[in-house]
Structure 1
Amino acid sequence: MTRPPHPLVAAAGDLLTPPPGTPHTLAPGLRARAAAALLRLALDEAMDDFWRSVSPRMVHSRGRTKALCLDWYVNPSVARQWYVVWSALSAACHHHTYELPPTPAEVKAWHADVTELLRAMPSATTGP
């Protein structure tokens, strides 16, 4: 199932900074982890959309492979940033008892990065 990435990013933003009047039923750390999961999902969906238009068979590859191959199709700095943010969000989404969860400030920074990447992705496309 394909989900548009922009509503996922907006939902993550609402979790990080709830609209005024919204009751705070979740702890900030839990909201941050949920927002990280939404941001990771947004990146995955945007990556699949990109590969669907360039090489549909790549949609079935693993996330890391898609990100590494991205370097051939977009500006290398965009590809590197994509991989860095995707890796950080992947680590944040996996709960380990020996690691602290991501802070809301970290996830807010990733939110800004994801927003920038989604904006840069179509303009960075150079074709094969």
Structure 2
Amino acid sequence: MILPTHGLTAAAEHLLTPPPGVTYTTAPGTRARAAAALLRLALDETMDTFWKDVSPAMTRTSGRTKALCLERYVSPSVARQWYAVWSALSAACHHHICELPPTPAEVRAWHQDVIELLTVLPATRR
């Protein structure tokens, strides 16, 4: 079962900012990468829901293709922001031996972008 998008973003926030009295044993970089994966999943789920309403065949294409086609249905600035945040989260989710994980501050900034995008995209279909 996949959490609804608000559950995914809340779980990401919980990883980035633990509640008082909670101490994690995992490194901040590991938690940041896990939070990035949750945020990317929230974007993917919202994008799939959007395309189910617009063109169900698009749900079978890659995330990059969906994001590139988005500009036809929403404002160019929203489409560009979506693609930029989705690309950054995609890169952050992949472990490369020669690269450092994303910092919690980077993922917090993406978290704010995701929250904004999740509220903007459904409003474009009204």
The 5-angstrom pairing of residues 1-128 of structure 1 reads: 3-125=3-125
Q: Is the 8 A contact 1:3 1:45 kept in 2?
A: no
Flag structure 2 segments of 5+ consecutive residues without an equivalent.
none
Which string of whole-angstrom CA distances, capped at 9 and with x for unpartnered residues, describes residues 62-117 of structure 1?
10000000000111111100000000000001110111110110000000000000
Q: What percentage of residue pairs aligned between the two structures are identical?
A: 71
Residues 2 and 31 of structure 1, relative CA distance in 2, 3 Å threshold: closer
Secondary structure of the residue aligned to 2:23 is coil
What stretches of structure 1 move > 4 A for 4+ residues in a row?
A: none
Shift of 1:21: 1.8
How many equivalent residue pairs?
126
Q: Is the 8 A contact 1:5 1:46 kept in 2?
A: yes
The letter of the residue matching 1:20 is P
Partner Cα separation in structure 2 for residue 114 and residue 14 of structure 1: 15
TM-score of the superposed pair, with normalisation by structure 1: 0.93
Partner Cα separation in structure 1 for residue 54 and residue 6 of structure 2: 20
The letter of the residue matching 1:64 is R
Aligned Cα root-mean-square deviation (Å): 1.3
The letter of the residue matching 1:80 is R
Q: Is the 8 A contact 1:15 1:32 kept in 2?
A: yes
